Structure 1
Amino acid sequence: MKTNIWILNHYASDMYFDHGGRHYNFAKFLRRAGYAPVIFGANSKHGKAERFFETDALWEEHVAEEIDTPFVFVRARTYTGNGKQRVLNMIDFYRNVKKAAKEYAAQHGRPDVIFASSVHPLTLVAGIQLAKQFGVKCVCEVRDLWPESIVVYSNRFTKDNPLIKLLYRGEKWIYKRADALVFTMEGAYDYITEQGWEKDIPRSKVHYINNGVDLEQFDYNKEHFHVDDPDLDDPDTFKVVYTGSIRKVNNLGLLLDAAKCVTDPRVKFLIWGDGDEREVLERRVRDEGLTNVVFKGRVEKKYIPSIVSRADANLMHGTPGPLFRFGVSPNKMFDYFAAGKPILMDFETKYNPVEQYQAGIILNSLSGEAAAQILQRMAKWPEEEYARYCQNARRAAGDFDFKKLTDKLLNIIESLPERKS
């Protein structure tokens, strides 16, 4: 039994304060299963010129008492934006987490396995190097494809760029040297075959664990953190709920296009969230006289279960991108599953849990008119048909409950052979 599991995630530190998140939830259920997790993250706040704790120490330990798990805050420079300082912040964490891990091991004992998680690949490199030094196995978790996402979403870099070629070689190096690979994308092996790496990276090494929901916490929050809202409590409306950021990249103008096309007076759009595009959209609502759209503002995450569970349909909105062919893993999808209400997803993708569980409707046309037609049809579903979608959504949440996802992670960890001395 590999008891001491060290989790490396540059951006995990927020989870200590949010009392939630992927690795916080893994740690919670690892602890319950008798394991001893430790989470290493940076002391710098993502994209802000601030630190979580003002200290010059290389690392500082704080215990998340509610899950009885130490968080090790590792020194790294602060930064804003996506320029040189952010890159240097990544390098800081890569260097300092290795030093901090050695000091932490001297005080608290060595790990039995290291679970290193991206976003950026230097954390995975640090995990592999530390595992070798400690003589243990390393599981690498890939939550974002670097450098593929840079190539897809940047206008500056192509696959022929020397730096990008170097990053691809580094990515392959990581995949070869990790003892096991966990991807949040179900179609990750499609990516590996597209790169032509299948001879070096066997399918048996690649595992799939998507994001998920802590159903225990979700149901507790739904019961104890109620949102008083007359629109949510109105039995005479079909409530279409969106939760999330309201920024230009989210293209929420499409929701207003849909609202404009809706003729059924019962259908109402309720939008929770905030962002730099909210004022523009609210002005459009006023200028166009849209009476079926209400912006509710931002709420703490603990109130989300109360909101989405009282919707009649929850909206998964997005603009399809090339990387979606490997699968999708937005956190809100799992909250929507837990709500046990039908989902309207306005983009198509491969490896789609909404489609796999028949938990909602997927539009093949990104248009306000198409969304309006489907929503009006959903508002008229017979009770039996509506209930079936609700049941399927909650069934999906059961399969993506972090308790079950942690069991999958443990199966991977415990199946690793001992490293030869």
Structure 2
Amino acid sequence: MKRKVWIWNHYGTKMFKDQAGRHYWFAENLVKLGAHPTIFCASTMHNSNESIPMGGQKYASDQLNGIPFVFVKTPEYKGNGRSRILNMITFYRNLFPVARQYAKRFGKPDVILASSVHPLTLIAGIKIAKKLGIPCICEIRDLWPETIVAYGALKRSSIIAKLLYLGEKWIYKKADALIFTMEGGKDYIVDKGWDQENGGPIDLNKVHHINNGVDLEMFDYNREFHTVEDEDLNNKETFKVIYTGSIGKANNVKKLVEAAEYIEFLGYQHIKLLIYGDGPEKEALEKYCQSKDLQNITFKGFVEKNKIPYILSKSNVNIMHFEQNSLKRYGASLNKMFEYFASGKPTISDCEFGYDQIQKYQCGMVVDNANVKQLSEAIIQFSQMSKAEYTLYCQNARIAAQDYDFTRLTEKLVDVLGVEKKEIQETYVGSNIDR
């Protein structure tokens, strides 16, 4: 039985601050089942100047709602340059003495769940688990180096890429089990020829899929108690199209601006686009809207995460955009998508993913690689839809959210951990670890 679970996520520090996120919700539900998870993360917080005070030690620890967090000492960094690489390497190196000290003090775990983004965390998990004589489950939330290659930052034929692919293959071979957040994880391994059927070393039976999702209980609580006073949101005369997220070149929010311009040109004055978020392209796009005197689009700026559920509940349709590249065929694991589902409102996506959830649940419309005209027509179509048809889309969205609620996703994780839920409840409910 795997009653003590170490969860390693370099960037899990933000979960401590937000009291939310994939591994926090996993841990929260594992605690309810009587297991004892501990989350290991960096002392630095990604995309923030904040960090955890270390007091000259290799690690610091704290608890959040009964979940222990271990903060591994790492140097501060900005951007994606050398300082960030140093931060990754330091996290990897410091995991070894921290794991040794923590295990000596509190006892070794029964299993390590090592999660990417970067692969060094997975390598550390495999090596340390071997030293402790326990299994290591590697969770793949981003395909490295495939993601870097797909976005053009690294040539597939380069020596660095080839070395990284060899490292990736080694991780998949050595892990006791693999969890992919994208549903096409097995497809990716087969495409690489790394599966046993193709003469490779990887047994596909140890490959699992647990997507990202949403904590519906928290979402519904925030929707009710963290409201926003906003005339645009409360205007019942408009058909509200909402986008939430970053506003950078990769997000291509310019397409939404051009869609608003086209919709206004066609005379659909009741349709309004509301853009929530911040980023380097926001100011330029606002100036563009002003130069065109667009009245049907408003940039609302940054809002706290706990306000998003209320905002989405006021939408009529939500917009999801993804840059077209080779990764999409393996499926999507975008956090935003599940918040959109939880809002109980339809989603329009301009990218058709492999194993596409919007199409599977019929909870929106997918127009692959949509141009401005196609995106505008999809918005207009929803604004003219009959109440019965629109309501069905809304109901399907909520059904999708229920299937990806973290209570259900944790049940899948329990299966991968090799723990019978009944056994955990009978044996460990009410027990305590001396911390």
Normalising by structure 1, we get a TM-score of: 0.95
Deviates most, 79-88 or 400-409: 79-88
Q: 1:178 to 1:415 in 2, by over 3 A?
A: farther
Shift of residue 90 of structure 1? 1.2
Shift of residue 300 of structure 1? 0.3
Deviates most, 43-52 or 396-405: 43-52
What letter corresponds to residue 187 of structure 1 in structure 2?
G
Aligned pairs (5 A) from 1:109-120 = 109-120=107-118
- The residue that corresponds to 1:72 in the other structure is 70
- The residue that corresponds to 2:213 in the other structure is 212
- The residue that corresponds to 2:125 in the other structure is 127
Structure 2 Cα separation of the partners of residues 62 and 44 of structure 1 = 15
Secondary structure of the residue that 1:189 maps to in structure 2? Answer: helix
Deviates most, 178-187 or 52-61: 52-61
Structure 2 Cα separation of the partners of residues 278 and 339 of structure 1 = 25
Residue 24 in structure 1 maps to residue 21 in structure 2? no
Structure 2 Cα separation of the partners of residues 120 and 307 of structure 1 = 33
Any stretches of 5+ residues in structure 1 without a counterpart? 417-421
Structure 2 Cα separation of the partners of residues 164 and 133 of structure 1 = 29
- The residue that corresponds to 1:419 in the other structure is none
**Contact 2:54–2:73 (8 Å) recurs in 1:** no
Structure 2 Cα separation of the partners of residues 364 and 160 of structure 1 = 29
**Contact 2:243–2:318 (8 Å) recurs in 1:** yes
**Contact 1:48–1:79 (8 Å) recurs in 2:** no
Structure 2 Cα separation of the partners of residues 348 and 409 of structure 1 = 27
Residue 318 in structure 1 maps to residue 318 in structure 2? no
Secondary structure of the residue that 2:233 maps to in structure 1? Answer: coil
- The residue that corresponds to 1:34 in the other structure is 34
**Contact 2:2–2:419 (8 Å) recurs in 1:** no
Match among 184, 190, 194 for residue 193 of structure 1: 190
**Contact 1:227–1:306 (8 Å) recurs in 2:** yes
Match among 163, 167, 171 for residue 164 of structure 2: 167
Structure 1 Cα separation of the partners of residues 48 and 336 of structure 2 = 24
- The residue that corresponds to 1:138 in the other structure is 136
Any stretches of 5+ residues in structure 2 without a counterpart? 421-435
Identical positions, percent: 48
Shift of residue 133 of structure 1? 1.2
Secondary structure of the residue that 2:232 maps to in structure 1? Answer: coil
Aligned pairs (5 A) from 1:1-400 = 1-47=1-47, 51-64=51-64, 66=65, 68-155=66-153, 157-199=154-196, 200-262=201-263, 263-400=267-404
Shift of residue 81 of structure 1? 2.3
Secondary structure of the residue that 1:87 maps to in structure 2? Answer: helix
What letter corresponds to residue 147 of structure 2 in structure 1?
S
CA displacement, residues 267-323 of structure 1 (integer Å, 9 cap, x when unaligned): 110111111111111111111111100111111000000000110001112222211
**Contact 1:50–1:78 (8 Å) recurs in 2:** no
Shift of residue 15 of structure 1? 0.7
Structure 2 Cα separation of the partners of residues 100 and 367 of structure 1 = 51
Structure 1 Cα separation of the partners of residues 161 and 262 of structure 2 = 44
Structure 2 Cα separation of the partners of residues 214 and 96 of structure 1 = 32
Structure 2 Cα separation of the partners of residues 279 and 49 of structure 1 = 23
Shift of residue 52 of structure 1? 2.3
Q: What is the root-mean-square deviation of aligned Cα atoms in Å?
A: 1.4
What letter corresponds to residue 37 of structure 2 in structure 1?
P
Secondary structure of the residue that 2:319 maps to in structure 1? Answer: strand
**Contact 1:343–1:359 (8 Å) recurs in 2:** yes
Structure 2 Cα separation of the partners of residues 75 and 243 of structure 1 = 33
Secondary structure of the residue that 1:231 maps to in structure 2? Answer: helix
**Contact 1:320–1:349 (8 Å) recurs in 2:** no
Structure 2 Cα separation of the partners of residues 72 and 322 of structure 1 = 36
Shift of residue 147 of structure 1? 1.1
**Contact 1:60–1:74 (8 Å) recurs in 2:** yes
What letter corresponds to residue 186 of structure 1 in structure 2?
E
Number of equivalences:
413
Secondary structure of the residue that 1:219 maps to in structure 2? Answer: helix
**Contact 2:242–2:273 (8 Å) recurs in 1:** yes
Q: 1:239 to 1:47 in 2, by over 3 A?
A: closer
Normalising by structure 2, we get a TM-score of: 0.92
Deviates most, 332-341 or 274-283: 274-283
Q: 1:123 to 1:31 in 2, by over 3 A?
A: same
Shift of residue 78 of structure 1? 1.7
Secondary structure of the residue that 1:249 maps to in structure 2? Answer: helix
Aligned pairs (5 A) from 1:399-410 = 399-410=403-414
- The residue that corresponds to 2:426 in the other structure is none
